[in-house]
């Protein structure tokens, strides 16, 4: 029988002392998540708290990051409104990654077989060009491959190979992304006089 009174933080290192944790929570909840805070200020705040953030990164409002010092983000990556990076362990986002609105990347878990419900945390890695669509969930220990897509509203509990779409119906192969043609049926055209 599970006995939650015996739960401890054994094996979990928050990475900073209580004063830095408290300061981050104050900044997170008063400025970082606010609609009026510019994206470049969010990036600067994450860097000030130890995150490694590349160039051209866009972080929208209502994004939550548990521990900035356990976050690495490559160049030109987007993190959409309301995304939650629950990074008890490191989260690494490659370059040109899109984490859409209200997506959850959760590195925390528990050992359901243990009576003390001990942590079973593991890092998450999202490789270059991948897309975590709106309200998708990526669980602890998962690697999302290059240019892979986690479909909206799905849960990903195991590694996703590159160029693969993860849906509720199962995985599907994707083609390598190509530049949008300058002309074509979907291209915007100037009106003719």
What domain range is 86 assigned to? 39-171
CATH of residue 105's domain is: 2.160.10.10
Residue 26 inside a domain? The answer is: no
| Residue recorded with tokens 């490559």 | 74
- Please report whether residue 178 resides in a domain: no
**pLDDT tens sequence across 132-153:** 999 999 999 999 999 999 999 9
Provide the pairing of β-strand 164-167 with 170-173: antiparallel
Q: Is residue 4 part of a domain?
A: no
Structural domain contains residue 66: yes
Write down the pTM of the prediction. Answer: 0.90
pLDDT in tens, 106-137: 999 998 999 999 999 999 999 999 999 999 99
Bridge-partner residues for 131, per DSSP?
98, 149
Average pLDDT per 10 consecutive residues for the chain, totaling 193 residues: 91 95 98 98 99 98 99 99 98 99 97 92 98 99 98 98 96 89 55 49
Domain total of the chain: 1
Per-residue DSSP letter, 160 = B
Sign of CA dihedral 25, 26, 29, 35: negative
């Amino acid at each position: 029988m599970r006995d939650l009174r015996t739960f401890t933080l054994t094996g979990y290192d928050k990475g900073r002392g209580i004063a830095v944790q408290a300061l981050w929570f104050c900044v997170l909840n008063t400025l970082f998540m606010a609609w009026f805070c510019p994206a470049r200020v969010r990036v600067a705040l994450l860097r000030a708290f130890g995150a490694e953030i590349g160039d051209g990164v866009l972080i929208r409002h209502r994004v939550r990051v548990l521990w900035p010092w356990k976050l690495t983000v490559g160049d030109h990556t987007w993190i959409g409104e309301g995304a939650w990076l629950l990074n008890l362990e490191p989260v690494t986002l490659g370059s040109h990654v899109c984490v859409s609105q209200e997506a959850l990347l959760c590195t925390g878990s528990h050992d359901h077989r243990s009576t003390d419900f001990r942590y079973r945390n593991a890092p998450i890695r999202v490789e270059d060009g991948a897309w975590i669509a709106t309200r998708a969930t990526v669980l602890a220990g998962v690697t999302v491959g290059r240019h892979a897509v986690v479909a909206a509203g799905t849960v990903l509990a195991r590694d996703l190979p590159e160029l693969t779409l993860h849906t509720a119906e199962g995985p599907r192969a994707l083609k390598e992304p190509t530049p949008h043609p300058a002309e074509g049926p979907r291209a915007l055209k100037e009106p003719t006089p």
